[in-house]
Amino acid sequence: MQLVDPRPNRPIPIRITPLIDVVFILLVFFMLTTRLLPLDYLELANNTGQQSSATGDPLPELRVNANGTVRWKKKDFDLAQLLSTLNAEGVSEANLATTPDTSLAHFTRTLSALDNAGIEPHWKRTNTPDS
C-alpha cells in the first residue's frame, strides 16, 4: 500500500536568487580592483588653460638612462648640458620617460632639475628599448 503518490519526473527548477547575488558580488569585486586610468603617463601638472590640442608642436621626449644621462634627439646629455640646451631652444614643457632599469635617484634628480629650471615635466615610464 502506497501512502504518497510518486513524484512525476520533471526537472527541478534552478533558483535564480543565489546566482544574482554571486553576480553582484563579482561585479563589485571587479569594479573595486580594476584601474580605470592609463598607466603610461602620470601627469604631474595640468596647466592646459591657454593651450589647444589642435595647434602647437609635440612636447620633447626626454628619457633618463640607467647611468643618469638623459637621451634627447638621439643624443645623451648630462643634466647641465641638457638644461642649457633646452633653455637655449625655449622649451618650457617636456615628457620625461625612464628606462626600466633607471634608479629612482636619477629620476628625481632629473625631475627636480627640470622643475627648478622652469621646465614643466610630465612623467612617462616606458618598457621599450631606445630608438
What range defines the domain where residue 77 resides? 41-45+59-125
Number of domains in the chain: 1
**CATH for 68:** 3.30.420
Q: What is the pTM of this model?
A: 0.52
Question: Does 3 fall in a domain?
Answer: no
Question: Does 79 fall in a domain?
Answer: yes
Question: Does 109 fall in a domain?
Answer: yes
**8 A C-beta contact, residue 95 and residue 130:** no
Cell digits of residue 110:
632629473
pLDDT of residue 26: 94
Which tens digit of pLDDT belongs to each residue from 20-72? 999 999 999 988 888 766 566 555 555 555 555 555 677 888 888 889 899 98
Q: What is the mean pLDDT of residues 126-131?
A: 51
Question: Does 13 fall in a domain?
Answer: no
Q: Give first-to-last CA distance, the chain, whole Å.
A: 90
